[in-house]
Structure 1
Amino acid sequence: RELDPRNRLFAGIETFARSVDVVENELIDPATVPGRFGEILGDYLDMLERYRLLTYGQQIVRAVTALEDLQVAEAVHVTLRHLIVDEYQDVNPAQERLIELLVSGGAELCVVGDDDQAIYQWRGSDVGNIVRFRDRYPDVAEFTISTNRRSRPEIIAAANKFATSIPNRLAKKMLPDRPPSDSGDTVVCWSADTAAEE
Structure 2
Amino acid sequence: MNLALFDLDNTLLAGDSDVEWPKFLIGRGIIDAEHHARHNDYFYEQYKAGTLDIDAFLEFQLAPLARFTREELDSLHAEYMGEHILPIIPAKARALVAAHQAEGDLVMIITATNRFITGPIARELGVEHLIAVELEEGADGRYTGRYTGTPSFKDGKITRLNEWLAARRQTLASFTRCYFYSDSRNDLPLLSQVSDPVAVDPDEALRAHACAHGWPVITLRD
Q: TM-score range by the shorter chain?
A: 0.3 to 0.5
Higher gyration radius (CA): 1
Task: Point out the structure with the larger helix share.
Answer: 2
Task: Point out the structure with the larger strand share.
Answer: 2
Q: TM-score, normalised by structure 2?
A: 0.32
